[in-house]
Chain A
Amino acid sequence: MFIKTSKAARRYARAIFQLAVEKEAEAEVRADFQALAGLLRDSAEFANLVHDPAHHVHRQQEAIQKLFGERAHPVVLDSLLFLAGRGRLAELPFICEHIEKLHCERNAILRARIATAAPLDDEQLTAIRERLEKRFGKTVEAAAQIDPSLLGGFKVRVGDAVLDFSIRTQLQRLRESMINA
């Protein structure tokens, strides 16, 4: 879930994504941007390169060429060089988010976050995922998360909607019903 957003990021993301679809490289481009998002989270140096306005455009472009010249898909590489040239490299985290969103929209994929008090095994996770797929009629990509404050049960977040089966919420409801009775 992204918190902040920018209109520019949305527009760049749409352009890059359309180009990828045209070149029939949607999956590769998406994978590359996913990797970039991971890199931004994990590598302080790469984040610094992207965010620090003190770096000169040519140095940024040189670095990008060196880092991704061999590894990234040409569309991704060109996009990065173009963003650097336009001084928009700082939008990269948002662009990654938007590419992901566009990919999900195009392929009818729902991203769900399943929070539980205790870790789920694969079987449970699959069961929940199948139920969700049935309910929403879309492919569901689930990410698990541990939240001990739920006490038990689970809580699924899909987009803006929340399905709350947690013990914490049930107890709260029980409390309210007893106060109001």
Chain B
Amino acid sequence: MPIDLKPEEVSSILRQQIADFKMEAQTYEIGTVLSVGDGIARVHGLANVMAGELVSFASGATGMALNLEEDNVGVAIFGDDISVREGDEVRRTETIASVPAGKGLIGRIVDALGNPIDGGPPLQDVTPSVIEVKAPGIIDRQDVKEPLQTGIKVIDALTPIGRGQRELIIGDRKTGKTALAVDTIINQRGQNVHCFYVAIGQKRSTVVQVYETLKKYGAMEYTTIVAATASDPAPMQFLAPYSGCAMAEHYRDNGGHALIVYDDLTKQAQAYRQLSLLLRRPPGREAYPGDIFYLHSRLLERAAKMSDERGGGSLTALPIIETQANDVSAYIPTNVISITDGQIFLESNLFNSGQRPAINPGISVSRVGGDAQIKAMKQTAGSLRLDLAQYRELAAFSQFASDLDASTRRQLERGARLMEVIKQGIREPLPVAKQIVIIYAGTKGYLDEVPVERVRDFERGLVDALDSTYSDLIDLINDQQALTDEVKDRIDRALKDYQRVFNENL
């Protein structure tokens, strides 16, 4: 399209601008770089600089003042430190780090400072938002009361997550932690929950994989990815969770709902350890600095369910922690376990024996989500938890006994089928009503006659049938939200009906 602009107009606009330009003195405070290395600059001067303030170097690089000492200031440099030289001028900016927040971020991939890195156009419709803010106070909050449906049967039944909760996902490498989080994001489609996926210290190829998956399932329409990959400097990896949180808070504070996944906080702790050691802060346990607990607690406290006066918005956090050889008594895992409102344990031996998602239902807990479960699920899941606990006990015991009495054998048979029921394929989230029917079938003994290896087929067929033949049953459960006698009766009839069809096709 030709731009219709005459040279005379251009010069008149320029003339106007020059005429409007006011000669003003620039006043600023400066310091001098004493030494620079490993992404850290020591600066002399800057006497009035504040902790956490951004400073700009003569080369154009920016940094954050982290250590204020008697005769120098320790500055973490964002980006490349090669351009910064000894003797360079450092200028105060009198601002603290902020990132863009708002609608313009939806569907984008940005770095820890909010700059788009997906090759797309500049961000539009965003407002700057300070990265480090205090968590909402006590009066501003209320109890977690609405469910955040993950679409994963075992989580929604046994360790339910409410909107505004912090639920930790913990496990060794390759146990399906990220898959669990991504499935949860995919299941938020149409739930009016804005999702943020913060990738910290990951491979760029992994981030692309997550992006492609989310795009394939239409989840990028309500998701933002914040990426500080392994090749980004430590200060960026340290900042990324706070940046993502600041972006997500925009929804929380405006009465909306947001979900944020920190994948993973172990890497963030390591980045912060690197920064701290280079700043010569004293090392403590596992060489982490003394304020490593505060690093995570102040981040996770920002997840909240706001009171109705404050709009009733929520921010749900799913932090991820990677353990080494299932050791949850290491420093960072114990810290984050104690901060969060419960944890989902993933175990590699479960994963390898085909129990996927590899969640250990025995030690996974949710401290607040139970209040947020719909009543029907609460009624169904109660007996599931009991049956599974009994099964685990008997399964260990029965390995030594050759012949068992009938009731024990029945419990073992039931347990084995329930273990099949809580299996679920990746990217196959289920709506809560269907979950209820399936778990009901398991706990009420409708699966006892089905061979263990056919349970998954039974379930698949049942899900299809619930979509077609019994779709009014799903509507009824969604409508009533509880297992009333009417609902129970309808489920029983439907299950008997389906059982007959299934057996005929056997």
Contact = CB atoms under 8 A, between A and B. Distances in A.
Contacts of A5: 44, 71
Given A3-B34, A3-B44, A5-B44, A162 B28 contact: yes
Interface string A1-25: 1011101000000000000000000
Given A162-B29, A164-B28, A169-B26, A174 B21 contact: yes
Contacts of B25: 163-165
B18 A161 contact: no
B23 interface: yes
A154 B83 CA distance: 28
A19 to B, nearest CB: 23
Given A173-B26, A177-B21, A160 B34 contact: no
Interface in B2-47: 14, 17-18, 21, 23-32, 34, 44-47
Contacts of B71: 5, 7
The listed residue with most B CB atoms (<10 A of its CB), out of A1, A7, A157, A160, is A160
Interface string A153-181: 00001011111110001100110011001
B409 to A, nearest CB: 78
A96 B384 CA distance: 80
Given A3-B44, A160-B47, A174 B18 contact: yes
B47 A159 contact: yes
B27 to A, nearest CB: 5
A161 B26 contact: no
Contacts, number: 47
Contact of B27 (A163, A170, A173, A177): A163
B87 interface: yes
B505 interface: no
B176 to A, nearest CB: 48
Interface residues of B, number: 22
A164 B23 CA distance: 11
B26 A164 contact: yes
A159 B46 CA distance: 9
A6 to B, nearest CB: 9
- The majority secondary structure among interface residues of chain B is mixed
Classify chain A: how many residues form its interface, as a range. 20 to 34
A160 B23 contact: no
A4 B45 CA distance: 11
B48 interface: yes
Majority SS at the chain A contact face: mixed
A173 B28 CA distance: 14
A177 B21 CA distance: 8
B438 to A, nearest CB: 59
B31 A178 contact: no
Interface in A105-148: none
A177 B20 CA distance: 10
A62 B335 CA distance: 64
A9 to B, nearest CB: 10
B245 to A, nearest CB: 29
B30 A162 contact: yes
A4 B71 CA distance: 9
B23 A3 contact: no
B353 to A, nearest CB: 61
Contact of A160 (B18, B21, B24, B29): B29
A163 B24 CA distance: 10
B71 to A, nearest CB: 5
A170 B29 CA distance: 17
B47 to A, nearest CB: 5
A127 to B, nearest CB: 15
Interface of B: 14, 17-18, 21, 23-32, 34, 44-48, 71, 87
Interface of A: 1, 3-5, 7, 157, 159-165, 169-170, 173-174, 177-178, 181
27 contacts: A3-B32, A3-B87, A4-B34, A5-B71, A7-B71, A157-B30, A160-B30, A160-B47, A161-B28, A161-B30, A162-B26, A162-B27, A162-B28, A162-B29, A163-B25, A164-B25, A164-B26, A164-B27, A165-B25, A169-B26, A170-B23, A173-B26, A174-B18, A177-B17, A178-B14, A178-B17, A181-B17
The 4 closest A-B pairs by CB, nearest first: A164-B26, A160-B45, A160-B29, A160-B47
Given A160-B48, A164-B25, A177-B17, 20 more contacts: A3-B44, A4-B34, A5-B44, A5-B71, A157-B30, A160-B29, A161-B28, A161-B30, A162-B30, A163-B25, A163-B26, A163-B27, A164-B27, A164-B28, A169-B26, A173-B21, A174-B18, A174-B21, A177-B21, A178-B17
